[in-house]
Structure 1
Amino acid sequence: MESLQVCDYMNHHPVRLLADMPVAEAVECLLNSGQSGGAVIDDRARLIGFLSEQDCIARMVESCYYREQVCRVKDIMQSPALSVKPYMSVIELAQQLVKDMPRVYPVVDDDGVLVGSINRAAVLKAIDKQLRAGYEVAS
């Protein structure tokens, strides 16, 4: 059976957010990208946190109520962020997804630099492809 690695199924163009970015701007980035969360990076593209749609909802409601946008990404991001390496096994990641439950994982190299992201759908696609290939060989 062929080895499934994260790098073969990851999104190579993940959302990149900055810690000092207003949450409203970060939400716009997420909505425009169609991604449910984004990596928060420093000036060297190293992962420093993660911001999900869920993290943003309460602050956006609060902003609507008070008619002000004072919250920054750094105020509500998850840090440290869970991340995976590009050479990690998709099967190992699937087992981690069951346990940790995030929808998206940032993918970082050995220096902590963001190189992509992988979500549940990509993991399912990889496993499905592997299973279908196994069925075809068995037939």
Structure 2
Amino acid sequence: MESLQVSDYMNTHPVKLNAEMPVAQAVEALLSTQQSGGPVLDIKGRVIGFLSEQDCIATMIASSYYREQICRVGDIMKTPVLSVKPYMSVIELGELFLKQKPKVYPVVDDDGILLGCINRTSVLKAIDVQLNDGYRHAV
């Protein structure tokens, strides 16, 4: 079977957040793109953090209680960021998903510049395609 790389299945248009953005604005971006999290980038496009829906829940509850935006993305983003390279094997990434918590990984080049994101669904799709291809060749 042919080796599948992360670059073959990553989302090349992920939501992009910045540290100065209000959390409410980041939540709107996540909701409008139907993504469960997104990388936080510096001005050069390097990944400096990651913000998930879960990170936003407590902040949004407090904001609704006090009727004000109480923090920015940089205040609650996760660092260091767990990321992957585009040339990584999808099978290897699948094993990472089994061991680590993230549901989404930013895909970065060797300089830390964001290229895209890949989630569990994309890994399942890649493995499914590979297995179905293998079944067709076996028959």
TM-score (norm 1): 0.99
1:102 Cα offset (Å): 1.1
Match of 1:22 in 2: 22
RMSD of aligned Cα (Å): 0.5
- Runs of 4 or more off by more than 3 Å in structure 1? none
- The 3-state SS of whatever aligns with 1:11 is coil
1:32 Cα offset (Å): 0.5
Instruction: Return the alpha-carbon distance in structure 1 between the equivalents of residues 49 and 38 of structure 2.
Output: 9
- The 3-state SS of whatever aligns with 1:79 is coil
Q: Give 1:48's aligned amino acid.
A: I
Number of aligned residues: 139
Q: Give 2:16's aligned amino acid.
A: R
- CA-to-aligned-CA distance 1:7-62 (integer Å, 9 cap, x gap): 00000001100001000000000000010000000000000000000000000000
Does the CA contact (< 8 Å) of 2:46 and 2:113 recur in 1? yes
Instruction: Return the alpha-carbon distance in structure 1 between the equivalents of residues 6 and 111 of structure 2.
Output: 17
1:1-139 to 2 correspondences below 5 Å: 1-139=1-139
**Aligned residues with identical type, % of pairs:** 68
Instruction: Return the alpha-carbon distance in structure 2 between the equivalents of residues 104 and 15 of structure 1.
Output: 12
Q: Give 1:57's aligned amino acid.
A: I
Instruction: Return the alpha-carbon distance in structure 2 between the equivalents of residues 15 and 79 of structure 1.
Output: 18
Gaps in structure 2 of 5+ consecutive residues: none
